[in-house]
Structure 1
Amino acid sequence: MLLATAERALGSALPISSTIPTLLAALTSAGAGVLVSPPGTGKTTLVPLALADAVEGRVVVAEPRRVAARAAARRMAWLLGEEVGDRVGYSVRGERRVGRRTRVEVVTTGLLVRRLLSDAELPGTAVVLLDECHERHLDTDLALAFSAEVRSALRPDLWLLAASATADSDRMAALLGNAPVIGADAPLFSVNPVWCPPTGPVDPPHGLRVDPRLLDHVASVVRRALAETTGDVLVFLPGAGEIEGVARRLSSVGAEVLRLHGRLSGRDQDAVLTGGRSRRRVVLSTSVAESSLTVPGVRCVVDAGLARVPRTDLSRGLSGLATVRVSSSSAHQRAGRAGREAPGVVYRCWSQAEHDRLPAHPAPEVDVADLTGFALSLAVWGSPDPATLPLPSQPPASAMAVARQTLQALGAVSDDGRVTDRGTRLTTAGVHPRLARALLDGAARVGARRSSEIVALLADDSLGGGTDDLAAAWRRLRNAGAGDPLAARWRDEVRRLRSAIPEGPVRDQADVPGDDLAAGLVTGLAFPERIARLRRTGGYLMSGGTGAGLSPGSGLTGISWLAVAVAQRQAGAQAARVRLAAAIDETTALEAGGEMLRTVDEVVWSGGDVVARQRDLLGSIVLSERPLKNPATPLVQEALRAGMEKEGLGLLRWTPAALHLRARLALLHRALDWPDVSDAALLERAQEWLLSARRRSDLQRVDLVQALRGLLDHRERAQLDALAPERIVVPSSSNIALTYSDDLTDPADPVLAVRLQEVFGWAAAPRIADGRVPVVLHLLSPAGRALAVTSDLESFWQNAYPGVRSEMRGRYPKHPWPDDPASAVPTKRTKHPARR
């Protein structure tokens, strides 16, 4: 029995051992389950062996990282006293150690997804164990959803177990058909936290940049930990660059300094994960050591508190990594590394107050990553709509829309999202769909070997060795000796990619480009929107519309055309920084970016007038242009509209009649919801009144009175003068003009300025707009000076007029000042009229 053999090798039971009978009973009954087990309980090593004892077929264990898959297989094989590849084996990208007797196979979740897409029934597999589901990698989410569908529709005999180190169990159990949840005890050993924030100022991480002062501090904390603790020290850092920086700072420390990250060769990873060293070790690791594997001998953890996560700029088509603060759940997992074998201590390079403000969990990859490969997997599975699958959470709609657009441009999916034959071929390459397209199409242009070599470098830009010149990095890898670890890893990937290229015709030898152009051509096929041309003003413009610049001192400076492989734009920056690119010529740029070539008629407002031109474009890059004769009217109108948006409606000739009509219409818009005549509204309907204008000078000839009346329907034109009259006849028979407000957004009530004697006999002020708007009377003295302002004439006669009469009749004795103005005869004359 495999489990019994492993437990004898351990010499003592692990916390998971007491849970295994309950787990097996649950799987026997329900066929699926969720195992919640903290780090250090033994779930990754003992549970697969127990499952293998309970079933006839193979147990497939899926880990999110290659280093974890290799380590788990090696640990189980050691417990059985065997070599990897006997009853326990592993399969990762580019490497497989599995034999005829293999009962437990550890794979990466990405490889499991490809197997499911190739043959969903998983013949020969009796159990699928998905480890570390809480980490929410894209491939883990897909593997969970696909496996759940397989169990439901094709393989009800398949046991499916989702394992997690955190208690987010209810959601996963629901995805597996309300499967039972089984919990395991926590590790036996406690971990004591020590808070040690930097004493001086340290800048927060920005993009990929980490303040060197933080690395200084981490190195000093490691020295402190070595002095205060025993055993090996595991140090968590965000990336390989920071690992090298801290390693340099620890060059004189009295311990062996080792690196652990996903870019190392399998042999170097194995060396770190193997115990039995006599000398004390400091292991500098990325988040690969958070879960799924044990670094033996560790009694102390030093945590820099940072993690590197994927980020996608959807608007610019740029993807990359960003450095962020670690989540509290990840910090807890990291600390647990110190308590796997004995009580331990964690030195956290931040304060407890900062810890209390950390996010509870890291963001799932589906929320922040490029979803092109994710969307292609859904299409190959036959479920382009993610809502139809039992996924832990749904992807953002905007990111899925961009992913589908990319796949359609690659010819991988049809308009309805279904996978094409080409999409299926792209999936088999085991790389991002963009790189798969470059691999297959590039092989026909530059040959299978060179295409594989270039794509292997594009798939892992760390192989570049620090240069931003892709062709130079390619030459270095080609010429490197057998002992170069980067070159060895690159050659392994080249062999794997080469096997994915079907035999096919290659262009005539005379047309095959040299190595430098081949590197650019394949890169451009992968990222056509990153083909870039040098600007006259400096820097580059990429065909996708984003500006880009080279790092100071780059060997690519001054090159007219680049095929950019990696570019990253920091938050707030105007342009992206080119990290890896190949020099190309214009012919190669046009070949690689052929799908982005177009000729457009462009009519714009430029230099204060309409400019019409025809442009040949590579995306956003202007290749050539020439004047455009007789441009289409809608394009001209749009350019004029843009000009008026920029320079204002003062470009038009606003006559007094037009201004007066506009003011009347603004009042009716306020009162009766007639058409809006604000600047924004007029520009919105510009095509209705710019029919004859072709250039700036034509705007002065637009008849704005007719244009404004043209915005009204037949009924409104008929009612305009009644609802918003230009003049009003007062009791004296004078026909006096109304003054309308020039405030177009919130017009005031209209004003009627009239001598007081001319409105005798009016009991109330008039109202317009179907009685909804009062007219404001400016009542004037015989000399034309304002005596009162009112829209409540009845109140004025009763309350204010007696005072006005008393003051004014001595000053203007020739004018009438009757006791009862409401019943008096109105007059324009100076003589006293007879009473009625």
Structure 2
Amino acid sequence: RPEIELADLTGFALQTACWGDPGATGLALLDPPPPAALDAARSTLRALGALEDGGVTGRGRALARIGLHPRLARALVDGAPEVGSRAAAEIVALLSEPPPRSAGDDLTATWRGLRRPGRPADAHAARWRDEVRRLRRSAHGGGPVEGPAGDAAPDAWARRGDDAVAGVVVALAFPERVARARRGSGHLMASGTGAVLDAGSALAGARPEWLAIAAADRPSGSASARVRQAVVIDEEVARFAAAPLLETAEEIAWRDGDVTARRVERLGAIELDAAPLRDPDPERMRAALLEGLRAEGLGLLNWTAAATGLRRRLAFLHDALGDPWPAVDDAALLDLVPQWLAGARRRADLKRVDVAAMLRGLLAWDQAKRLDEYAPERVEVPSGSRIRVDYSGERPVLAVKLQELFGWDAAPRLAGGRVPLVVHLLSPAGRPAAVTADLASFWREGYRAVRAELRGRYPRHPWPEDPAQAVPTKRTRRASGS
């Protein structure tokens, strides 16, 4: 693949902006830059103050003249007043070239090793010294470096040691790689990516709370980046160097099974501090409850037996008759739920919603009047029992002991006569003995086989030869003549 499709285009975007062509539209390139990568590069440059209103700024031209990736140029320019031009140049020179294999992941230790007086230990150390000299000249405006002025780190950082000095520069270059230890193991970078130290890491033993990560890679298939070089820092360094990522926001959301309302301070994806909101916006609280219902389901509501039964009856009528009988599937109810949440602020409030009353409120007056006729909750059978109709399946079912239906030639039809009621005829033990939607046909054709099978097993129950003319009963003692 062409390199332009894979490379970091931040430096390229800065150069083209300096040429007066921020979008690189006037260049005769073999391959055009990917729009998404170019947009990301320009976004980085805006954050560095190198671009403004689509054009290059004076700061941007100054960064371009240094001859480094804009991030490193920014670390040099902004780091020099904070830690001294010498230290800033030394750290940036260290960041501008991959470290030798022998270097560990402790960037501060590598820096100390390179600073030792005497001849350079190897080619990497020699190149580093040359680059430091070049960068110091750049930090001084391109002229010769005269004396120690500006070289020393200001007391504010120097007193805190090499880690603080190096950490400021690294974090200025890569603020999104500032990372904080998280529960369990590893760190979380401000970018939102996880980071882990190798088992043999020189830094791991210190169990650092904060890191400024200079270099990392992500092994194939891994969700976290592997730290190659980093500096141990503290929260003060993180807040200072990654200040553009600091934000305080009111967060009202469904979190860990309930609504949380907090004022949260974050450094990118890293949560620094949180405090409960005293007077959260009621509308946002209801929106968070709805978010929870969508995420976890309508089971969070108070589904009493009455509410569940009513919902099934309404679902049956909607399927059988369509509009205007309301749809009560999950999607339809989630659209209606906001009307039910007046005053609700917490998960516990969802259990106080009278779901049955809310469902009845979906019906017009004439529908409410016909509900028990079209989809009765119970049906009275010849024995006098009032049996609950089961609407949970595809067809409504009446499950009743066979002896209670003697003399009944037809079960009522529901939905205004459109849907037959399926009858499950039960044995005296309550087990299904037969299923029919046509009782008269069953008495004529199916009953004889059921009687032959069950009569001997349940002799204390009536098994008349002509059930259509027999007296229905709930009694267990057999009547004479049966």
Normalising by the residue count of structure 1, what TM-score does the alignment of the two structures yield?
0.44
Shift of 1:659: 0.5
Candidates 95, 105, 109, aligned match of 1:458: 95
Distance 2:9 2:371 in 1: 61
Tell me which residue corresponds to 1:485. 123
How does 1:111-126 map onto structure 2 within 5 Å? none
With over 3 angstroms needed to count, the CA separation of the structure-2 counterparts of 1:713 and 1:432, relative to structure 1, is farther
The reply to whether residue 434 of structure 1 matches residue 71 of structure 2 is yes
| Alpha-carbon offset, residue 461 of structure 1 | 2.7
2:31 to 389, 392, 399: 392
Tell me: CA distance 1:383–1:729, structure 2 relative to 1, closer, same or farther (3 Å).
Answer: farther
Q: Which position in structure 2 is the counterpart of 1:804?
A: 446
Which residues of structure 2 form unaligned runs of 5+? 143-148, 453-461, 475-482
The 1:702/1:490 distance shift into structure 2, 3 A limit, reads same
Q: Which amino acid aligns with 2:310?
A: L
Alpha-carbon distance, 1:591 to partner: 0.7
Once residues 65 and 357 of structure 2 are traced to their aligned partners in structure 1, the CA distance between those partners, rounded to angstroms, is 66
Match of 1:392, SS? coil
Correspondent of 2:48 among 400, 410, 424? 410
Q: Quick one: which amino acid aligns to residue 343 of structure 2?
A: S
Q: What is the distance in 2 between the residues matched to 1:575 and 1:629? A: 37
CA deviations over 1:645-677 (Å, ceiling 9, x no partner): 787655543211210123234446767596453
Q: 303, 309, 313: which one pairs with 1:664?
A: 313
C-alpha distance in 1, partners of 2:26/2:415?
A: 57
Q: 1:453, CA displacement in angstroms?
A: 2.7
Corresponding residue of 2:480 = none
Cα distance change, pair 464–814 in 1 and its aligned pair in 2 (3 A): closer
How far is 1:442 from its partner?
2.1
- Paired residue for 1:531, among 168, 178, 191? 178
For each residue in 1:251-278, what CA deviation from the matched residue of structure 2 results, as whole angstroms up to 9, or x when unmatched? xxxxxxxxxxxxxxxxxxxxxxxxxxxx
The change in CA–CA distance for 1:701 and 1:435 in structure 2 (over 3 A counts) is: same
Give the unaligned 5+ runs of structure 1.
1-134, 139-365, 742-746, 819-826, 831-836
Deviations 1:319-368 (A, max 9, x none): xxxxxxxxxxxxxxxxxxxxxxxxxxxxxxxxxxxxxxxxxxxxxxx1x4
Which runs of structure 2 are paired with 1:442-453 in the superposition (5 Å)?
Answer: 442-453=79-90
Alignment partner for residue 210 of structure 2, among 543, 561, 567? 561
Query: 1:444 Cα shift?
Result: 3.8
Whether contact under 8 Å (1:689, 1:707) holds in the other structure is yes
| Cα offsets for 1:287-307 (capped at 9, x unmatched) | xxxxxxxxxxxxxxxxxxxxx
Deviation at 1:756, TM superposition (A): 7.1
Cα 1:584–1:720 change in 2 (3 A) is farther
1:382 matched to 2:28: no
Aligned CA distance change for structure 1 residues 708 and 460 (closer, same or farther; 3 Å): farther
The normalised TM-score by structure 2 is: 0.70
CA-CA distance at 1:805 after TM superposition: 6.1
Change (3 A) 1:394 1:595: closer
Superposed, which structure 2 residues align to 1:261-340 within 5 Å? none
On the 8 A contact 1:533/1:561 being kept in 2, the answer is: yes
Q: Does 1:751 align with 2:402?
A: no
Question: Match for residue 471 of structure 1?
Answer: 108
Q: Deviations over 1:792-823 (max 9, x none)?
A: x4xx866x5531365679933675359xxxxx
- Aligned equivalents of 2:290, 2:319: Cα separation in 1: 25
Is the Cα contact below 8 Å between 2:180 and 2:270 reproduced in 1? yes
Helix, strand or coil: the match of 1:513?
helix
Q: Is the 8 A contact 1:756 1:781 kept in 2?
A: no
The alpha-carbon deviation at position 468 of structure 1 amounts to: 1.9
Q: Provide the secondary structure at the position in 1 that maps to 2:195.
A: strand
Secondary structure, counterpart of 2:390 in structure 1: coil
Counterpart residue type for residue 532 of structure 1: A
User: What is aligned with 1:833?
Assistant: none
8 Å contact from structure 1 (residues 640, 695) kept in 2: yes
Aligned equivalent of 1:579, options 214, 224, 228: 228
Of 590, 594, 598, the residue aligned with 2:247 is 598
Please name the residue that 1:513 is paired with.
157
Kept in 2: contact 1:787–1:804 (CA 8 A)? no
Give distance in 2, aligned partners of 1:701 and 1:455. Answer: 61
Q: Distance in 1 between matches of 2:472 and 2:258?
A: 54
* Maintained 8 Å contact 2:406/2:472: no
Please say if 1:653 is aligned against 2:295.
no
In structure 1, the partner of 2:276 is 627
Q: Tell me the distance in 1 between the aligned counterparts of 2:28 and 2:367.
A: 58
Deviations, residues 724-747 of structure 1 (Å, cap 9, x unaligned)? 734598999x99764211xxxxx5
Shift of 1:589: 1.5
- CA 1:507–1:812: 2 relative to 1, 3 Å: farther
- What is the rounded CA distance, in whole Å, between the counterparts of 1:459 and 1:721 in structure 2? 77
What amino acid is aligned across from residue 180 of structure 2 in structure 1? R
Residue 778 of structure 1: CA displacement? 0.7
Which AA in structure 2 matches 1:533? Answer: R
Partner Cα distance (2:115, 2:203) in 1: 20
The answer on whether the counterparts of 1:444 and 1:507 sit within 8 Å (CA) in structure 2 is: no
Cα distance in 2, alignment partners of residues 713 and 389 from structure 1: 68
Per-residue deviation, 1:404:
4.9
Matches within 5 A, 1:21-60: none
CA change 1:816–1:543 in 2 (3 A) is same
Task: Give the equivalent residue in structure 1 for 2:265.
Answer: 616
Aligned to 1:159: none
**Aligned equivalents of 1:717, 1:387: Cα separation in 2:** 69
Give me the CA root mean square deviation. Answer: 4.9
| Alignment check: 8 A CA contact 2:84 2:152 kept | no
Q: 1:725 maps to what in 2?
A: 375
Secondary structure at the residue paired with 1:614? strand
* Residue 136, structure 1, aligned to residue 2, structure 2: yes
* Counterpart Cα distance in 2 of 1:721 and 1:662: 12
Contact 1:778 1:787 in 2 (8 A): no
Matching of residues 627-706 of structure 1 within 5 Å: 627-637=276-286, 640=289, 650-667=299-316, 672=322, 675=327, 677-678=329-330, 687-706=338-357
Percent of residue pairs identical: 42
Cα distance in 1 for residues equivalent to 2:435 and 2:23: 70
Separation in 2, partners of 1:389, 1:767: 76
CA distance in 2, matches of 1:802, 1:540: 77
- The letter for the 1-side match of 2:423 is H
Q: What are the superposed Cα offsets for residues 415-471 of structure 1, whole Å, 9 maximum, x if unpaired?
A: 8xx244144544444333322322332234334443333222112132685132223
Asked if the contact 2:108–2:163 (Cα under 8 Å) also holds between the matched residues in 1, the reply is yes
Contact 2:50–2:56 (CA<8 Å) still a contact in 1? yes
The one-letter amino acid paired with 1:384 is G
